[in-house]
Amino acid sequence: MQLTAKASLTNALLISICTPNFKGDEATESLAELARLVTTLGFKVVGTQSQKLSSTQKVNVLGLGKLAEIAQLTGNKGVVEGLEEDEDLEEAEFILNPVNVPSDNLPFACADVVVFDCDLSPSQLRNVENQLGVEVFDRTGIIIEIFSRHARTKTAKLQVEIARLNYVAPRLRETSTGDKERQMGKGAGETTLELNRRAVRDQLAELKRELVSVQDEMKGRRSQRSELFCVALVGYTNAGKSSMMRAITGSDVEGENKLFATLDTTVRALYPITQPRILVSDTVGFIKKLPHDLVASFHSTLAEAHDASLLLYVVDAADPSFRAQLDVVHDVLEEVGVEDSKKLLVLNKSDQLSLEQQQALMEEFPDAMMTSTRNPADISKLHKYIVGVAQDEMIEDEVIIPYTAKGIIGEIRANMSVIKEEYEYSHIKLTVRSNAIDLERLKKSMLGLSTDDS
């Protein structure tokens, strides 16, 4: 089973299940976010519907009356039976325009696919597809497909494929050909379904072995960078992290107004270049109800945040729901053990706010920094802040360099911040600022040089 948005399957009907623990603004905002997710896949949202139920654990997910209603919107291609048995239904209703699409008086057969804003079990997914006669997606399936399309590096592709196979494995179904072969005695003891499941298990095992190897390489690269001051951009998807990355590093990191436009961790040097260099990494964006398999798979990607000296929590301050999004970021980072790092809340996209709104946010978040990536003064202010934090973590010391050690002087200027220079008769006395590791390495080099001279 491969979740793909086929060219003929473009019109999507979104379904929200409201329960006692998931309702009101939370459900409405989640459905609006689902609309952005399916739009990222190329679907067109033609409408939304909602039903209030006691839970999402019903065999058919929805009440049978509501299923019959939705079946009209998908062209009555399936079979809805047992309407008189529908007893768990509390209330069925249309959500009027929460995602800027008309949802009342929808025409017959207007939807080609149905997308639920919750997770469906394999049996629920199968039952609803039989009832409606069209392809049905749940939230996790949509997110995994987006990740699958947007993964670029080998690491991200492996991580996403592992998550996809974990999702697909329990949803594999027996083909009609496999059933006939079994009935005619042509099978070799295993159905096609069993063979497919075994193939998925073997593929998963191979992918996990390959991922371990790639992660070891990534760990080695991070180890090489560990001596430098590192900043990690973290935040909700589409909060403007990629734009921020471009602005403070002068790089050409991809950025689009889409959810999960970038998945792969990118590392660049802060620009203008500092001595020693400061590295900036742009990590994968987060989202509500991020599938657990994806969180687990991306632990190694988030290791960039784990190893960072400073975390920049980038939020879209113009989004009224950014506080709830910030909670999601906190939760995920806490899960991977990143919460104790030094951090700065960056209230991004301030150009979309009025002065009154900006002032109110700064009163609410006095330790935050209000920025717009379109304002050079804001980027300069953020650059100065990052450099200041990095300087605070450095050590100042004096080193004596003989004039004969020209190579060492070049290395110092390339890797350290030279505060003061004093030229004596036989040597140069430099006051430098750097991390403890580089300073210790320099002193050992000087000690070795003195030994050679003697």
At 224-264, the pLDDT tens digits run 566 788 999 998 888 899 899 999 999 876 656 566 655 66
Whole-number Å distance between alpha carbons of 432 and 395 = 8
Show Cβ contacts of residue 12 under 8 Å, excluding neighbours closer than 6 positions.
38, 43, 44, 45, 46, 111, 112, 113, 114, 115
Provide the residue type at 207 as one letter. Answer: L
Q: Is cis: bond before 276, omega within 30 of 0? A: yes
2 pLDDT higher than 70: no
Q: Which of 16-30, 209-223, 434-448 has the highest mean pLDDT?
A: 16-30
10 pLDDT higher than 80: no
Determine contact, residues 143/294, Cβ cutoff 8 Å: yes
pLDDT (0 to 100) of residue 5: 45
Q: Give me the phi and psi of 32, to 5 degrees please.
A: -65, -40
Provide the residue type at 5 as one letter. Answer: A
Task: Locate all alpha helices (DSSP H) within 173-321, ordered by sequence.
Answer: 176-183, 192-225, 241-249, 292-297, 299-306
**What are the tens digits of pLDDT across the range 393-431?**
888 899 888 888 777 888 888 788 888 999 988 889 999
153 pLDDT higher than 90: no
Tokens at 368, concatenated: 């935050």
- Pick the more confident residue, 328 or 12: 12
353 pLDDT higher than 90: yes
Residue 103's H or E segment, with its range, is: none
Collapsing DSSP states into helix, strand and coil, what is residue 51? Answer: strand
Q: How far is CA 61 from CA 121, 172, 337, 390, in A?
A: 9, 19, 35, 53
Give the strand pairing for 113-116 and 135-137.
parallel
pLDDT (0 to 100) of residue 91: 41
Q: Which of 70-74, 106-110, 156-160, 449-453 has the highest mean pLDDT?
A: 70-74
pTM equals: 0.77
